[in-house]
Structure 1
């Protein structure tokens, strides 16, 4: 799945505003903001995983941690944790307490990190 350069920049901008405001963003609100073509969720997931790979490669906290489900868990979907495992950032059950505590710590790291403008 591919997104346009403008959509990629809009994704980065949305995450940066969210980070600076020390808030989280739902997948749904991000989908609405980016206006991705069908299959929109698959495209968004691919883009967030690509960003996570770039962040991990650069030794930065994973900005994709700021995107959460609107379900009661208020956590990213399990695919986020699978991606974080592949990147060597998370080990544990994506449905368990380890996921909750790791996610909270990663979000705090994202809030405190200043990302370079050019990504």
Structure 2
């Protein structure tokens, strides 16, 4: 399935992630869905956009901004698909629900918080 978002929605996503990065906090998928008002299927659209952003960041050898988006559940980790994506990008290897995933995610979040993204990557 092909999903598309508008330039305004893409810019909104980048802006939400930049605010979260500067405030050093994480966002839930649900919060992003509510703020961005993506077209249906909204979760698939958001997932595709976050995976695309991960590819952009990986190619630029930057920390992955998509790591700032987590599930509401007790794990406080991104969904399994995030870990599958970062494994394809060569950034992480292992089960998505274990200690290694939680540790890698925590260190990636710190890297995002401490990184200064070039302006053209933000908007």
Instruction: Assess same fold via TM > 0.5.
Output: yes
Distance 2:40 2:17 in 1: 22
Deviation at 1:117, TM superposition (A): 1.4
Alignment gaps of 5+ in structure 2: none
Aligned length: 119
Counterpart of 1:110 (choices 89, 109, 112) is 112
Distance 1:40 1:117 in 2: 27
Distance 2:27 2:113 in 1: 13
Counterpart of 1:86 (choices 71, 85, 88) is 88
Q: Counterpart of 1:38 in 2: which secondary structure?
A: coil
Deviation at 1:66, TM superposition (A): 0.1
TM norm structure 1 = 0.99
Aligned to 2:23: 21
Aligned to 1:41: 43
Distance 2:13 2:30 in 1: 13
Deviation at 1:118, TM superposition (A): 1.1
1:9 paired with 2:11, answer yes
Distance 1:37 1:15 in 2: 19
Counterpart of 2:74 (choices 69, 72, 75) is 72
Distance 2:33 2:119 in 1: 22
Deviation at 1:93, TM superposition (A): 0.7
Alignment gaps of 5+ in structure 1: none
Q: C-alpha root-mean-square deviation of aligned residues, in Å?
A: 0.5
Deviation at 1:73, TM superposition (A): 0.5
Deviation at 1:22, TM superposition (A): 0.3
Runs of 4+ in 1 over 2 A off after TM superposition: none
